[in-house]
């Protein structure tokens, strides 16, 4: 670590202290004076890893500063501690965002751009796809017809769109393949069907048709209805041959006939059907890619116009900025003198390019493959044996390329092999198992194996390896095997946590008072994939062991989400009788068939008119259920969309109900996350529109399941293997011993010096899968796909070996492997058993007297008196009523007025002494014409456009100030703003109008009307004061935390009612975004923009607007005062339509 003039690639094996080496290098750079903290950039794989790195760096700096004897080095270390926050420690995406924010103009970005995460990017992508399809339907419907002529529906290309959207740097390989002539194939098919049908038994066999017979019968039926000349129908029929059915010999006339039928099927499949399908799919590929590519370009334009950037935007724009602008590159390279990278094996090619462009020489070279990092400028740590994110653009070939560039440039490769994590017997087993699958020398597919050297000794008599035997289940179904394994694993963990297992503790743990008894937090349960994670959490919690699920596959199996979505669907469309019956019969109300029958008779089968029916005469429990549904439906019409959804969720009691059920943290977390998704997708939509958007997201995107308590320490962690990267635990269980499948490659990317080219298969969700999780159907294949697929399969197989290595190296003391005895080859962990690697390891059995392995403990059957049951039900109802009470309220500042419901307690309002002079509704001097406010633009888009243009006008004025930033919350201070030029204003108005997609209003162009509004703003006294302000802040996010009682007293106008549901002490968080704050004479002025029309003419109408929005503006002012300690002297509404400012008392 002391050779600071050399670039290093540290290949650190599992548990060998990668982060320790990184921190040691950083401390040495500071102590030696080779680097200042502001010149350090430490890149990590996750935000969590960045936080841990920052903590460890600070501790090591402080320790080094206190123990350093040399005065000069000690002074530099002390300075490093004082300026620690100037160093960059974060993800590569955050680092690229920082580079772009430092040079937004050169990067061609809005200075106020915002990064979006993967989920939000998915919503942007969906919006772009829908917008693109709408444009095609409107402007070029012939393109849709051309697709359908090929048997492709536009919706089936969404998967291809997402793939190309995720690889914007890759050029798809296409070819102009001719349309195959399928006339002769049709004749051959009909001839085959005639012969195959003759071999079938005349009647159904006693045990039913076998798989081959079913397939032949289906093909025969569809061939009989094949439209003449319909190539698409023929291709669909040929697709049914792409299977491998096996005959049951005793269900045929004789075994020879069965064998002949199979041979004929395979001959037609391999000689005619599959070659024809391959030719057809090759023909479809080019048009499919050509149709999708404009949608990818539209998505990029939409993000750029909206001022948002996804992860790929950040990487590509940062690389382009460094590659194309030598001055910027020189400046940033001088700013960040030393770059250190953790988990480098998971880097993607663009990340590597950014790092080499920043640290490499010569500066005039733009191809990163030809750059050599400056001596000592680059320090990367990684383990190629743990490169497991190829599906997320990680490329082990890039790792090898970087390694060779470093070596050729005078850098060195260090190997860290000492394993400080796992005990010696476990390391010996890992070395023995993986010495074969990994090669001795690295190649383009795989890393070389470097044996680990154990440091920790095992406790005498304590096994380091164990197995959980899972007996065979009928038909070897995944769900049944998962249930059986989950029960056994959960029972053993419950026994272990009950005192059955003693663990070795570190001296630090002993010092904290942690004894050797096993705790839930000591266990990590890993799955190869994301299926059935909840089954293990439920089994654990049924035995009293808390479990935390991470990485579950969306909402698969989440009945609570399905029930809530059914309810929302009914409230959005109350005339749908199927939805009504589903909700009444479902878990929310649970009406049985008899209750539904009586309710139907009372409604006279008027299920579609239940909202208008007289409730009083209806029988219970249907009467109560419909009354409840009516109340919830009323909320959808009287409350803002998001407020209605959250209030309905609270009223259902689903959150407390699911929270106390097995896997309750995950299930209740699903509902919380569903509300968050609704908040993101439902902005500006009606309640039915929000419900439709929410259901669409749930059905089409693989959302990760949520959790009420993410990261709680004393819970068994249950997760898929990819989420376990960088984690460890005393005990690791490799669970769910089924589901080992080879996934056919979907694409292959080849990166050459001139760029990246990719071959992408086009697949559509299986028919009827709904959520897209069924077996996909191949629509099109790229040219020379067979060779590309074989090459990609080699990369995938190599990564499977690395995944097993990661799984085997997570445990500190005990690694437990579930083994399915029915068909061991079905297990993803089966390669760990090969060669007898698990022979002789102890099998974990739950001792006698513990909970049985096959099921969760069940209570004894006892007689209970009816009055005891009634009392228990009353207590349950009281507990549920208490649980439904909101623990806190989150209110948008603009919705304060929507809380009206009765007379609030008396209060004095939010006041500041400095605001007394502005307490009256004083209106700026000047002509007033509320009658003639011009054209009547309506809709959310106009309001957003006006806000956006006002922000741009202020930001542009700030940007011209020397040294000013001008972005959101940029803190531009101590320099006067400059006036706005008319030409610049018109340009900004034109940009904003186009960005918002505004239409002309009463013959007036949108940019003209927006410019008119802005010209009035530039003539206002507010603008004159703004030009001379000391400091300017725009679009400032604010939050005001207080209790419901405090809010009622502070803002009686808001009408917040302290009721049974909202207590005096209920925490309330009021959130919003202040449009403009500026400081003059050491006091702040707050301005909020509104585009509303006044309800009445004259000053009385403007005063009404000030009264309406007063609670919102006063909440902003109070939040600013609490956050900064500086009061707001004046509060103003700027009414955009009228060019007027009204003081808010």
Residue ranges for the known binding site are: 12-19
Note whether 882 and 874 are within 8 A (CB): no
Alpha-carbon radius of gyration of the chain:
34
Residues in Cβ contact with 503 at an 8 Å cutoff, skipping those fewer than 6 apart: 516, 517, 518, 522, 730, 731, 813
The candidate with the shortest Cα–Cα distance to 84, out of 40, 127, 52, 130, is 40
Using CA atoms, how far residue 5 sits from 355, 363, 414, in Å, is 17, 19, 15
Residues in Cβ contact with 726 at an 8 Å cutoff, skipping those fewer than 6 apart: 45, 46, 49, 343
Using CA atoms, how far residue 1084 sits from 579, 610, 1031, 1076, in Å, is 54, 55, 9, 10
Note whether 485 and 818 are within 8 A (CB): yes
Query: Residue with structure tokens 């680097």?
Result: 35
Burial 715-752 (b: 16+ CB within 10 A, else e): bbbbbbbbbbbbeebbbbbbbbbbbbeeeebbbbbebe
Query: Residue with structure tokens 């909840």?
Result: 534
Cis preceding-peptide flag for 1006 (omega within 30 of 0) = no
The candidate with the shortest Cα–Cα distance to 170, out of 747, 1002, 1006, 958, is 747
The Cβ of residue 441 has, within 10 Å, a number of other Cβ atoms equal to 8
1049 vs 1054: CA distance, rounded Å: 10
The candidate with the shortest Cα–Cα distance to 117, out of 316, 348, 311, 318, is 311
Note whether 750 and 756 are within 8 A (CB): yes
Residues in Cβ contact with 767 at an 8 Å cutoff, skipping those fewer than 6 apart: 774, 777
User: What end-to-end distance do the CA atoms of the chain give, in Å?
Assistant: 63
DSSP string, 1043-1103: EHHHHHHH-GGG-----SSS-TT-EEEEEEEEEEEEEETTEEEEEEEE-PPPSSSHHHHHH
Q: Mapping DSSP to helix (H, G, I), strand (E, B) and coil, where does residue 1037 land?
A: strand
779 vs 764: CA distance, rounded Å: 7
Query: Residue with structure tokens 């795989």?
Result: 446
432 vs 808: CA distance, rounded Å: 12
The Cβ of residue 328 has, within 10 Å, a number of other Cβ atoms equal to 17
Q: Mapping DSSP to helix (H, G, I), strand (E, B) and coil, where does residue 1142 land?
A: strand
77 vs 62: CA distance, rounded Å: 8
- Two tokens, residue 149: 């002529």
Residues in Cβ contact with 104 at an 8 Å cutoff, skipping those fewer than 6 apart: 110, 111, 113
Annotated binding site for ATP: 12-19
Cis preceding-peptide flag for 362 (omega within 30 of 0) = yes
206 vs 202: CA distance, rounded Å: 12
Phi, psi of 466, deg, nearest 5: -155, 165
The candidate with the shortest Cα–Cα distance to 53, out of 81, 16, 89, 18, is 89
436 vs 835: CA distance, rounded Å: 11
């Amino acid at each position: 670590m002391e050779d600071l003039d050399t670039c290093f690639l540290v290949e650190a094996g599992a548990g060998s202290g990668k982060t320790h080496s990184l921190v040691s290098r950083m401390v040495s750079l500071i102590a030696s004076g080779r680097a200042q903290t502001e010149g350090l950039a430490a890149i990590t794989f996750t935000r969590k890893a960045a936080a841990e790195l920052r903590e460890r760096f600070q501790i090591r700096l402080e320790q080094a500063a206190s123990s350093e004897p040399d005065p000069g080095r000690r002074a530099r270390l002390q300075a490093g501690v004082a300026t620690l926050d100037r160093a960059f420690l974060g993800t590569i995406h955050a680092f690229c965002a920082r580079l772009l924010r430092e040079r937004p103009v050169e990067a061609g970005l809005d200075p106020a751009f915002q990064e979006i995460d993967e989920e939000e990017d998915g919503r942007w992508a969906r919006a772009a796809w829908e917008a693109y399809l709408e444009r095609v339907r409107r402007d070029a419907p012939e393109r849709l017809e051309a697709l359908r002529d090929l048997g492709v529906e536009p919706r089936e290309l969404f998967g291809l769109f997402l793939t190309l959207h995720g690889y914007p740097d890759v050029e798809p390989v296409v070819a102009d393949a001719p349309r195959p002539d399928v006339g002769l194939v049709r004749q051959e098919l009909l001839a085959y069907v005639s012969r195959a049908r003759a071999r079938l038994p005349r009647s159904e066999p006693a045990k039913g048709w076998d798989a081959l017979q079913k397939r032949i019968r289906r093909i025969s039926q569809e061939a009989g209805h094949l439209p003449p000349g319909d190539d698409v129908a023929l291709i669909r029929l040929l697709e049914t041959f792409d299977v491998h059915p096996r005959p049951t010999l005793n269900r045929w006339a004789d075994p020879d006939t069965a064998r002949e039928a199979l041979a004929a099927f395979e001959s037609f499949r391999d000689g005619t059907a599959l070659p024809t399908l391959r030719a057809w799919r090759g023909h479809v590929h080019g048009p499919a890619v050509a149709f999708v590519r404009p949608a990818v370009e539209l998505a990029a334009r939409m993000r750029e116009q909206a001022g948002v950037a996804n992860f790929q935007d950040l990487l590509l724009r940062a690389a382009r900025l460094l590659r194309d602008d030598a001055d910027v590159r020189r400046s940033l390279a001088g700013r960040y003198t030393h770059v250190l990278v953790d988990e480098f094996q998971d880097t993607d090619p663009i990340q590597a390019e950014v790092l080499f462009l920043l640290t490499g020489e010569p500066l005039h070279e733009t191809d990163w493959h030809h750059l050599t990092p400056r001596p000592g400028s680059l320090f990367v740590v990684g383990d190629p044996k743990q490169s497991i994110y190829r599906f997320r653009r990680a490329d082990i070939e890039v790792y090898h390329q970087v390694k060779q560039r470093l070596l050729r440039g005078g850098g060195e490769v260090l190997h860290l092999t000492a394993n400080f994590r796992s005990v010696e017997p476990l390391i010996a087993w890992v070395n023995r198992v993986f010495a074969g699958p990994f090669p001795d020398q690295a190649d383009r597919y795989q890393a070389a194996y470097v044996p680990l050297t154990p440091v920790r000794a095992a406790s005498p008599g304590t096994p380091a390896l164990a197995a959980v035997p899972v007996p065979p289940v009928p038909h070897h179904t995944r769900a049944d095997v998962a249930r059986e394994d989950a029960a056994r694993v959960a029972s053993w963990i419950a026994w272990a946590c009950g005192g059955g297992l003693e663990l070795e503790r570190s001296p630090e743990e002993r010092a904290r008072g942690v004894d050797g008894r096993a705790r839930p937090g000591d266990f990590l349960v890993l799955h190869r994939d994301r299926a059935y994670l909840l089954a293990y959490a439920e089994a654990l919690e049924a035995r009293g062991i808390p479990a935390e699920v991470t990485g579950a596959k969306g909402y698969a199996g989440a009945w609570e989400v399905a029930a809530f979505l059914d309810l929302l669907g009914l409230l959005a469309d109350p005339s749908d009788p199927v939805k009504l019956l589903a909700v009444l019969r479902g878990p929310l109300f649970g009406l049985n068939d008899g209750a539904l029958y009586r309710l139907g008779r009372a409604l006279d089968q008027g299920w579609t008119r239940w909202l208008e029916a007289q409730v009083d005469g209806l029988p219970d429990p249907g009467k109560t259920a419909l009354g409840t549904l009516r109340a919830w439906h009323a909320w959808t019409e009287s409350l803002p969309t998001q407020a209605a959804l959250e209030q309905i969720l609270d009223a259902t009691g689903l959150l407390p109900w699911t929270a106390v059920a097995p896997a309750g943290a995950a299930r209740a977390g699903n509902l919380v996350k569903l509300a968050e998704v609704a908040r993101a997708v439902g902005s500006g939509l009606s309640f039915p529109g929000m419900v439709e958007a929410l259901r669409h997201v749930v059905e089409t995107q693989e959302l990760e399941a949520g959790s009420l308590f993410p990261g709680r320490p004393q819970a068994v962690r249950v997760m898929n293997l990819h989420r376990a990267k960088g984690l460890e635990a005393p005990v690791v269980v490799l669970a769910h011993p089924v589901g080992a499948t080879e996934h056919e490659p979907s694409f292959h990317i080849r990166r050459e010096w001139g760029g990246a080219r990719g071959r992408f298969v086009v697949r559509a969700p299986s028919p009827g899968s709904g959520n897209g999780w069924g077996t996909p159907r191949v629509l099109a294949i790229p040219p020379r796909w067979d060779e590309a697929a074989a090459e990609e399969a080699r990369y995938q197989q190599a990564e499977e070996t690395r995944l097993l290595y990661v799984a085997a190296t997570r445990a500190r003391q005990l690694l437990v492997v579930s083994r399915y005895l029915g068909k061991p080859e079905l297990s993803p962990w089966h390669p760990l058993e090969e060669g007898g690697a698990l022979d002789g390891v102890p099998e974990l059995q739950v001792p006698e007297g513990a909970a049985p392995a096959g099921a969760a403990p069940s209570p004894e059957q006892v007689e209970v008196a009816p009055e005891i049951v009634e009392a228990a039900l009353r207590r349950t109802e009281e507990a549920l009523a208490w649980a439904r009470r909101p623990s806190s309220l989150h209110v948008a500042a603009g919705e304060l007025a929507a809380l009206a419901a009765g007379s609030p307690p008396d209060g004095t309002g939010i006041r500041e002494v400095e605001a007394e002079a502005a307490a009256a509704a004083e209106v700026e001097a000047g002509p007033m014409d509320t009658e003639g406010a011009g054209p009547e633009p309506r809709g959310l888009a106009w309001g957003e456009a006006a806000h956006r243009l006002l922000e741009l006008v202020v930001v542009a004025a700030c940007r011209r100030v020397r040294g000013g930033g001008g972005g959101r919350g940029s803190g531009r201070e101590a320099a006067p703003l400059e006036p706005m030029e008319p030409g610049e204003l018109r340009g900004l108005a034109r940009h904003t109008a186009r960005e918002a997609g505004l239409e002309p209003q009463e013959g007036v162009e949108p940019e003209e009307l927006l410019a008119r509004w802005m010209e009035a703003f530039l003539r206002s006294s507010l603008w004159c004061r703004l030009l001379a302000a000391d400091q300017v802040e725009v679009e400032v996010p604010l939050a005001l935390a207080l209790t419901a009682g405090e809010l009622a007293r502070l803002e009686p106008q808001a009408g917040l009612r302290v009721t049974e549901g909202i207590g005096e002490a209920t925490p309330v968080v009021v959130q919003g975004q202040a449009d403009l704050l500026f400081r003059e004479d050491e006091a702040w002025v707050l301005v909020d923009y509104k585009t509303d029309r006044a309800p009445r003419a004259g000053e009385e109408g403007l005063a009404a607007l000030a009264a309406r929005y007063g609670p919102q503006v006063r909440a902003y002012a109070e939040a600013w005062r609490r956050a900064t300690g500086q009061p707001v002297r004046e509060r103003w509404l700027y009414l955009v339509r009228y060019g007027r400012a009204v003081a808010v008392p």
